[in-house]
Homo-oligomer: A and B are copies of this chain.
Amino acid sequence: MARQRRLTLGLVGGDSCTESETKLAFETGRQIARSEAILVCGGGSGVMEAGCSGAKTANGTTIGVMPGEGPESSPPNPHLDFVIYTGLGQGRNQIVVLSSDAVIAIGGEWGTLSEIAIAKKYGIPVVLLASWSVEGPHGQGLDDLQRAATAKEAVAKAVRLAQGHEAGA
């Protein structure tokens, strides 16, 4: 199906993050742009802002799907090309995930975990980068989640999974 000309990769992570997560997110955003994918995220600060900033240094395209009803309640980070306001609070996480061909998760916030779980529920591929470990009571999660050690590896895996997801869709 002629959906979008370019792959769309979701970058999910907390609105505050450590220095090393900031660096990972920046480099992940840069690699997303270099792979010519669109970066979609929750539009906020922290991992989201660092990723968008990295994407823009490589001439990428960035879309933010905000929780609030407008710029007063949800100030978009300054590296967004396009801003979508939802008024749904955390309910916007579903939209970030469904709009992605694959999702890369960085860090350990609860909102990030919800996005990982929503993606898996909807069958969207996820790659974890310095993020949550999860294990269900019957061992779920351990083999279902892809991990990467570097930003470059995460984006390469996400692109490959996204292409498989597109082809199968």
A110 — which chain B residues lie within 8 A by C-beta? 117-118, 120-121, 140
Q: B65 near A84 (CB under 8 angstroms)?
A: yes
| A130-159 contacts to B (CB < 8 Å) | 130-138, 140-141
- In the complex, which of the residues A2, A65, A69 has the most CB atoms of chain B within 10 Å of its own CB atom? A69
Q: B140 near A108 (CB under 8 angstroms)?
A: yes
A78 — which chain B residues lie within 8 A by C-beta? 2
A84 — which chain B residues lie within 8 A by C-beta? 40, 63, 65, 84, 95, 99
Q: Answer whether A88 and B90 are a contact pair too, CB < 8 Å, given A1-B71, A130-B137, A134-B133.
A: no
A60 within 8 A of partner (CB): no
Chain A interface: which size bin?
35 or more
**How far, in Å, is A5 (CB) from chain B's closest CB?**
8
**How far, in Å, is A78 (CB) from chain B's closest CB?**
6
Contact among B3, B116, B122, B140 for A69, CB-based, below 8 A? B122
Top-6 shortest CB links A-B? A108-B136, A114-B117, A113-B117, A85-B98, A110-B120, A110-B121
